[in-house]
Amino acid sequence: MSIHPASAGPAIAPALRRVSFDHPDARALNDRVQLEYAERYGDEGDVTPLDPAMFSPPRGLYLIAYDADGTPLATGGWRAQDANEEAYADGDAELKRMYVTPEARGLGLARRILAELEADARAAGRTRMVLETGTKQPEAIALYVSGGYEPCAKFGLYRFEELSRCYAKSL
């Protein structure tokens, strides 16, 4: 793995690659984030139905950050949403499966992935990026708030859950 502490000299910046949501590395990182959700919330993880086609351009995108050795370090995607019974609005792009492995946290990967996803959704004609997270993920909430996201009306599968928090940002 090519993660180097600052004192070890410069490291090659992790590369962001577009992949399918069913790519083996995407599945492996998804398994890791699901374990983290289960540890934090004491349940089976996020049961939102996701299909790889939801992340196919131009109605979505899925990214993985890899180090120079090809180790997957972080992931995130967006999928198009429009007004429906789960309280989404026309033009929404929903952020899904943002995750950075514990060994790669603090390298700015989540911020890089988030910026790329926002730019791609904007280029695809989406007008608002939305996301759902939970109160037991304070570092995620801090990332989104620092990136200009504001609390919004709840939407999606977890909109009635007490620990759920929803945020939005105009694109």
Burial code of 64-97, b = ≥16 C-beta within 10 A, e = fewer? bbbbeeebbbbbbbbbbbeeeeebbbebbbbbbb
Residue 155 lies in a domain: yes
Instruction: Tally the domains of the chain.
Output: 1
In a domain, 68, yes or no: yes
Interaxial angle between packed helices 109-123 and 138-146, expressed in degrees from 0 to 180 and rounded to the nearest 10:
50
Establish if 107 belongs to a structural domain: yes
- Alpha-helical runs (H) found in the chain: 24-41, 109-123, 138-146
CA dihedral 157, 62, 64, 43 (to 10 degrees): 10
Q: What is the 3-state secondary structure (H, E, C) of 139-159?
A: HHHHHHHHCCCEECCCCCCCC
**Is residue 97 assigned to a domain?**
yes
User: Is the per-residue pLDDT at 4 higher than 70?
Assistant: no
Mean pLDDT of 77-84: 97
1 within a domain of the structure (yes/no)? no
Helix (H, G, I), strand (E, B) or coil at 137: coil
Per-residue pLDDT reduced to its tens digit, 45-73: 888 999 999 999 999 999 999 999 999 99
Q: Which domain holds residue 19?
A: 6-170
> What CATH number does residue 163 fall under?
3.40.630.30
Amino acid (1-letter code) at residue 109:
L
Residue 158 inside a domain? The answer is: yes
In one-letter notation, the amino acid at residue 127 is T
Q: Which pLDDT value is given to residue 11?
A: 61
Q: What pLDDT does residue 106 have? A: 94
Give the residue-averaged pLDDT of 142-165: 96
| pLDDT tens-place string over residues 9-45 | 456 789 999 999 999 999 999 999 999 999 999 987 8
